[in-house]
Amino acid sequence: MTKSLTFVERILTICWQRLEDTCSNDARSLGLFRIFWGIFVLLFVAPYSAWVGQVPQSFYNPPVLSVAFLFAGFPPYWLMLAGDLVRIWLVVLITIGVKTRVCTIVLCLLTFISTNFAYSFGKIGHDILLWAVALCLAFTDWGVTYALVPDRRINPKVAARALATAGVLIAFAMFTAGFDKALHWINFDLSTSGFLNWFYSGYYTLDRKLLLAPFVLKVPPQSIKILDFAAVAFELSPFFFLFAGRAGWRAWILIATCFHLANALLLNIPFHIHVLVYLPFVALARFFGRASAGGSVTTAVLSWRVPVIIFAIILGLAHTAQRLKGGGSSFLFVEGDSVVRLAVSLVLLALCALLIALDLTTCVYGTRLHRARSRHGVPDDA
Amino acid sequence: MKYPNLLYTTVLSAFLLVPFAIGYLAPTLEPYPAVLLPSWAGRIKTTEDQIDFNRTAIYGRVAGRDAWTRLSPSQFLNPVPREFFPPLAQRYFGLSPIEPITHTIKGGAVIRIDAHKVSEEEIRNAKQWLRARLNGSGCDDSVLRITQEVATLRRSDGAEIAVRYQNDKVFDLR
């Protein structure tokens, strides 16, 4: 028994080491991503659940296996509003880098509770990856660099494991989406289509007729069958790419971003929140040059951080004002549904794809250079 | 700790696989929070000229006339997101008595769970809320019609060819 356990432990050590090498990212990149994350959340995914306190209690139908099932009804409006305001200011604190680790953990836990009530109408939303990945980032050094009140540096092993776990969560979530599709969509029956089931219901019952959606009607349905296979292949492949290495994983998240872009164009389903799920693995520090030592750097660094801090606080105040006036929105302060949401989602996903592509190119170039130097016996720092 | 990676992997696997298994075997029991993404693995026939859609619709009676007008769920229910409309309407917004929920899981087993009980006061509040919404939509605020229907659409242009009402209920909101 002990021998078997030791053997399994050894295999898992190798696997996790591989995952950690694949998913690792430097503290500077994570610090930059933290600022991007905060501004993105304040603009496009702002905490807004107070509306739950304004609907009749007869609508209450919480998921059976959730904390909300223990409650008799929706919480009162004032409590949901207070929760929203606390979460908004936690996001502001995370953006400017004040005790980021604690703020992130508290924010994610509060979000799980608030959204539990928001999903108590008989349907669960699926933004879980955004907050699950954020919870993993709380155990990295994303609150150390470019932070007003930096966190203490965490054990590098813990940080590496946290990012690897984030990668596993993403891969598993995609697997859950692809598993049932694989059982029903993978066949050679050209008279049925899974993609078109999604398309027609959105097109004809939810009025998703923008961008490239009308062109889908012009394509022979039998030709679209290839999309069923492509969707399943994409959703069941991430674990393979996680173990394939850094370039492989970045290639997959680039494909994932393109997948969401295609969904936005053809199905009008905006999944811009996944920009924040994929970008933690991108070496954003590449695009900002090397940080050099010296007093002038402090000034240079602070010079761009001050406007960011001011901007984050302004966003927090704007959200607070909107909430206290009885309104609220999670997307660009616009209340209700908006066509703008789809257009902005496209821009965000395109930007995300560009950043990932640049990082992937640099990663592949770096790997080839390293291999060439190894073959010729030239040190990497020559 | 002797087997740290084994312990970590076991705990993580349980955290991921148990909710997935529950959600797969009994979709109506999907836990929250859980690391799950929607599958929606249904298929549709692509060779026919017509397609059938199951939908839940709400209608208000046009004020001063004996005609029904279909209401836009996103406008009618605002701020409740549109995607929450189907399950809400299928429960008739809590206006009808709700039977214990029966979940049939893959394998044939049946689980019965008592639904959240709706009190008379909650029903009164719901009616008041719905009446305000009907007024805002320019409809008679005394009745609300909720139907489960199958709409047949022409695939080429989405023209509605026929509607079959499978369940048609009219609620007196007075």
Res. A222 pLDDT band, cuts 50 70 90: confident
pLDDT surpasses 60 at A132: yes
Contact A126/B36, CB-based, under 8 Å? yes
Q: Say which DSSP state A273 is in.
A: G
pLDDT in tens, A52-74: 999 999 999 999 999 999 999 99
DSSP bridge pairs for A121? A61
Output the average pLDDT for chain A. Answer: 91
Instruction: Say which residue, A296 or A190, is predicted with more confidence.
Output: A190
Q: Does A70 touch chain B (CB under 8 A)?
A: no
pLDDT surpasses 90 at B115: no
Among B29, B80, B91, select the one facing A64 at the smallest CB separation. B29
Residues of A with CB below 8 A from B115's CB? 61
In a domain, residue A218? The reply is: yes
Which helix or strand (DSSP H or E) is residue B128 part of? helix B120-136
How close A42 gets to chain B, by Cα (Å)? 19
- Nearby residues of A229 by Cβ (< 8 Å), 6 or more positions away: A185, A186
Res. A205 pLDDT band, cuts 50 70 90: confident
Contact A61/B115, CB-based, under 8 Å? yes
How close B70 gets to chain A, by Cα (Å)? 13
What is the DSSP track for B27-55?
GGG--SS-S--------EE-SSSEEEEEE
Q: What is the mean pLDDT of residues A186-202?
A: 88
pLDDT surpasses 90 at A154: yes
Instruction: Say which residue, B44 or A39, is predicted with more confidence.
Output: A39
In a domain, residue A8? The reply is: no
Contact B32/A192, CB-based, under 8 Å? no
Beta strands in chain B (DSSP E): 44-45, 50-62, 68-70, 101-104, 110-113, 139-154, 160-172
Contact B37/A204, CB-based, under 8 Å? no
Residues of B with CB below 8 A from A192's CB? 43-46
Q: In chain A, what percentage of residues exceed pLDDT 70?
A: 94
Residues of A with CB below 8 A from B87's CB? 61, 121-123
Output the average pLDDT for chain B. Answer: 88
CA distance A111 to A126: 13
In a domain, residue A7? The reply is: no
pLDDT surpasses 70 at A86: yes
Residues of B with CB below 8 A from A128's CB? 33-37
Q: Distances in Å between the alpha carbon of A206 and those of A203, A329, A341, B86?
A: 6, 21, 15, 12
Residues of A with CB below 8 A from B16's CB? 169, 172
Nearest-by-CA chain B residue for A119: B84
CB A196 within 8 A of CB A223: no
**Residue that is written with structure tokens 């489960």 in the block:** B148
DSSP SS3 for B151: strand
Among A112, A126, A194, select the one facing B38 at the smallest CB separation. A126
Res. A223 pLDDT band, cuts 50 70 90: confident
In a domain, residue A288? The reply is: yes
In a domain, residue A380? The reply is: no
CA distance A380 to A377: 9
Q: What is the mean pLDDT of residues B146-159?
A: 85
Q: Interhelix angle for A225-236 vs A156-185, to 10°?
A: 150
Q: In chain B, what percentage of residues exceed pLDDT 90?
A: 41
Q: In chain A, what percentage of residues exceed pLDDT 90?
A: 75
pLDDT in tens, A291-333: 544 444 445 456 788 999 999 999 999 999 999 999 999 998 8
Give the pLDDT confidence score for residue A73 in this predicted structure.
Answer: 94
How close A74 gets to chain B, by Cα (Å)? 11
pLDDT surpasses 50 at A21: yes
pLDDT surpasses 60 at A167: yes
How close A363 gets to chain B, by Cα (Å)? 28
Residues of B with CB below 8 A from A62's CB? 116
Domain count, chain A: 1
What ipTM, to 2 d.p.? 0.91
In a domain, residue A208? The reply is: yes
Residues of B with CB below 8 A from A112's CB? 33
Contact A184/B122, CB-based, under 8 Å? no
Q: Distances in Å between the alpha carbon of A328 and those of A75, A126, A160, A322, A369?
A: 17, 21, 37, 6, 51
Give the pLDDT confidence score for residue A114 in this predicted structure.
Answer: 97
Q: Which domain holds residue A91?
A: 18-375
Among B3, B41, B118, select the one facing A194 at the smallest CB separation. B41
One-letter amino acid for residue A32 of the chain: L
Instruction: Say which residue, A204 or A377, is predicted with more confidence.
Output: A204
Nearest-by-CA chain B residue for A113: B33
In a domain, residue A10? The reply is: no
Contact A124/B30, CB-based, under 8 Å? yes
Give the pLDDT confidence score for residue A297 in this predicted structure.
Answer: 44
Q: Distances in Å between the alpha carbon of A348 and those of A41, A345, B142?
A: 12, 5, 46
Count of pairs with CB atoms under 8 A, one residue in A, one in B? 196
CB A264 within 8 A of CB A345: yes
pLDDT surpasses 90 at B108: no
pLDDT surpasses 60 at A165: yes
Token pair of A61 as six digits: 């139908």
pLDDT in tens, A341-355: 899 999 999 999 999
